[in-house]
Amino acid sequence: MELCDIILQPQNRNIRFTMLDKDEVKETIVNVARHIFSRFGFRKTTMDEIALATRKGKSSIYYYFESKEEIFQAVVEKEANLLKAELHEAISHFEDPREKLKAYILVRMRALNKLANFYDALKNDYLSHLEFINVIRKKYDDDEIATVESILKRGIENGEFVIDSPHLASIAIVTAMKGLEIPIFVEVNEDEVEKRIDNLVNILFYGLIKR
Amino acid sequence: MELCDIILQPQNRNIRFTMLDKDEVKETIVNVARHIFSRFGFRKTTMDEIALATRKGKSSIYYYFESKEEIFQAVVEKEANLLKAELHEAISHFEDPREKLKAYILVRMRALNKLANFYDALKNDYLSHLEFINVIRKKYDDDEIATVESILKRGIENGEFVIDSPHLASIAIVTAMKGLEIPIFVEVNEDEVEKRIDNLVNILFYGLIKR
DNA sequence: CGAATATTCGACTAAATAATTCGAAATTAA
DNA sequence: TTAATTTCGAATTATTTAGTCGAATATTCG
């Protein structure tokens, strides 16, 4: 086992005097598993490690979850929700749609960069049989488009934009945003990143701004 | 497989028209393996991954190395040499022994922090049966003590220090330096790190400076 | 050229590791 | 005290992985 000692401290069997809610225990397991999965990915994370890190017997983990996949699913869902929340928070600080979008792209990229391992696991073929991943991805994508759409709509209300279909436009923007990600994952130079985002946002908004 | 695509690009069988030096190929394998080991540690790194990343068949790897351990040994040796070189370079920029030592500790800590995974692997019990690790560690430790000793000796020549046994003093300093590392691995706050190093250096030199 | 040598890799095996199950013991609720 | 809940050690099964073998392909050199 090569996990950080903080998580690994051994402990005696838990002695409690009131029952914990089953969901609370599940939550704890998911939180611990999140760290391990995000560091090592799905394959390289073992149930033994999750058990050790949660200070439980391996069989106890199976009392709460059917399988490793089920834990992974819960983790991915949590990860997606946290990212979503972080993104909504980030754009809330700006009024100008252009600034909002810039903040969105920046935060999104940094977050995905931090989760690079995780993200790899999701992209890779050997997990494509996990149907739930596609479901989560779809839900996440829809939210992304809806968020961008709401930014655009605000611009339209302002009279700042002229857009026939904010929905189609937002799909285009999200697609472009994803395209931007790939080269940025490789070289992580902060200045360069800022510049590229600026460029992208300028290009994207070029056709939309009222003149 | 969840490695970075840069490494993973598949490739046709290599067609060369001159033989490469065997050692050059070994060097390449070690370099590739270094990345994977340092990210996932000894256990979680597989020969298949090393083979894939070097664009060779697994059996070809065994043509160059006897075993996974042998590759790991080469990697650890390289890692130790690189660190050593980096440290010598770092102290060469300063004249004052105190500054030299400060630079030494700082660079050493940053380097080990970056290699945290790796370092874990070396610390962990499940690798203690690999005798070569102790050999490398010993060699590395000796170099460390010698380096600190040379710093102290320069201070003595300057007339800045009064030390009976620079050798014993350097052992003490290296030991203290290692003690400092442990709490710092946990919380990585740059300012705090600088402050602690300053403190340590001050304490260490307190008894040595000529008054 | 063509024989000798060096290098590559696919397919296989044995061993190790990891996921999952089971039943019994411990704990808590009632 | 009894029933339900929670825990885990030990066993089982499935998967992964280190390492082997032999044949095929490349390269060198006479």
Tens of pLDDT, residue by residue over A24-61, are 999 999 999 999 999 899 999 999 999 999 999 999 99
Q: Identify which has the larger pLDDT, A158 or A143.
A: A143
Domain total in chain A: 2
pLDDT digits (tens, 9 = 90+) for A155-183: 888 888 888 888 988 998 888 888 776 65
Do B85 and B126 lie in one domain? The reply is yes
Query: Domain check: are A31 and A82 in the same one?
Result: no
Residue A81 lies in a domain: yes
Same domain, A143 and A124: yes
For residue A86, what are the CA distances in angstroms to A32, A110, A175? 20, 11, 20
A39 and A81 co-located in one domain: no
How far away is chain A from the Cα of B196, in angstroms, using its nearest Cα? Answer: 22
* Residue with tokens 């050798």, as numbered in its chain: B167
B9 domain-assigned: yes
Q: Does B90 share its domain with B155?
A: yes
Compare all CA atoms of chain A with the CA of B123 and give the residue at the minimum distance: A2
Q: Round and report the angstrom distance from CA (B53) to C1' (D30).
A: 38
pLDDT of residue A201: 79
Is A52 among the domain residues?
A: yes
Residue B33 sits in a domain of what CATH number? 1.10.10.60
Q: What is the pLDDT of residues B128-151, one digit of tens each?
A: 677 788 788 888 889 999 999 999
Task: Say if residue B159's pLDDT is above 50.
Answer: yes
Identify any residues that bridge with B187 across adjacent strands, giving them in sequence order: none
Quick one: pLDDT at residue B179? 76
Residue B135 lies in a domain: yes
Q: What is the pLDDT of residue A8?
A: 36
Distances (CA, A) of A146 to A150, A171, B127: 6, 9, 51
Q: Is the CB of B126 under 7 A from strand C?
A: no
In this predicted structure, what is the pLDDT of residue B176? 84
Instruction: With respect to residue B211, please indicate whether it lies within any of the assigned structural domains.
Output: no
Based on the domain organization, do A60 and A86 belong to the same domain?
Answer: no
Cα–Cα distance measured from residue B86 to residue B26, given in angstroms and rounded to the nearest whole number: 23
pLDDT (tens digit, 9 = 90+) per residue, B93-109? 999 888 898 899 889 88
What's the confidence (pLDDT) of residue A138? 87
B29 SS3 class: helix
Residues A160 and A187 in one domain: yes
Chain A residue numbers touching B36 (CB-CB < 8 A): none
Q: What percent of chain B has pLDDT over 90?
A: 38
Q: Are residues A94 and A132 in the same domain?
A: yes
Of A2, A44, A186, the CB nearest to B121: A2
The residue with greater pLDDT, B55 or A22, is B55
Mutation to test the A interface, candidates B2, B5, B126, most A Cβ within 10 Å: B2
**Do A113 and A193 belong together in one domain?**
yes
Q: Which of B97, B87, B80, B77 is nearest to B166 (CA)?
A: B97
Mean per-residue pLDDT over chain A, rounded: 81
Which chain B residues are Cβ-neighbours of A120 within 8 angstroms? 2-4
Q: Same domain, yes or no, for B89 and B179?
A: yes
Q: From the CA of B211, how many Å to the nearest CA of chain A?
A: 44
Q: What is the mean pLDDT of chain B?
A: 81
Q: What is the pLDDT of residue B44?
A: 93
DSSP collapsed to 3 states, B134-170: HHHHHHHHHHHHHHHHHHHHHHHHHCCECCCCHHHHH
Residue entry with tokens 């809806």: A146
State the amino acid at position A103 in one-letter form: A
Reply yes or no on whether the pLDDT at A113 is more than 70.
yes
When pLDDT is cut at 50, 70 and 90, the band that residue A207 belongs to is: low
CB contact under 8 A, A2 and B186: no
Residue A10 has pLDDT above 60, yes or no: no
The CA–CA distances, whole Å, from B129 to A136, A204, B137 equal: 45, 59, 14
Higher pLDDT, B64 or B22: B64
**Smallest Cβ distance to B41: which of A2, A42, A43?**
A2
Q: Are residues A95 and A117 in the same domain?
A: yes
Host domain of residue A184: 69-206
% residues pLDDT > 90 (chain A): 38
Domain boundary residue among A33, A65, A97?
A65
Query: Does A16 score more than 80 pLDDT?
Result: no
pLDDT per position as a tens digit, B3-31: 333 333 333 344 455 556 888 999 999 99
Considering the domain architecture, whether residues A174 and A107 belong to the same structural domain is answered as yes
Angle subtended at Cα A97 by Cα A134 and Cα A89, rounded to the nearest 5 degrees: 55
**B177-200 tens-digit pLDDT:** 887 766 555 555 677 778 878 887
What pLDDT shows up at residue B210?
58
What does the pLDDT average to over B60-84?
A: 94
Strand D within 7 Å of which CB atoms in B 15-54?
Answer: 15-19, 45-48
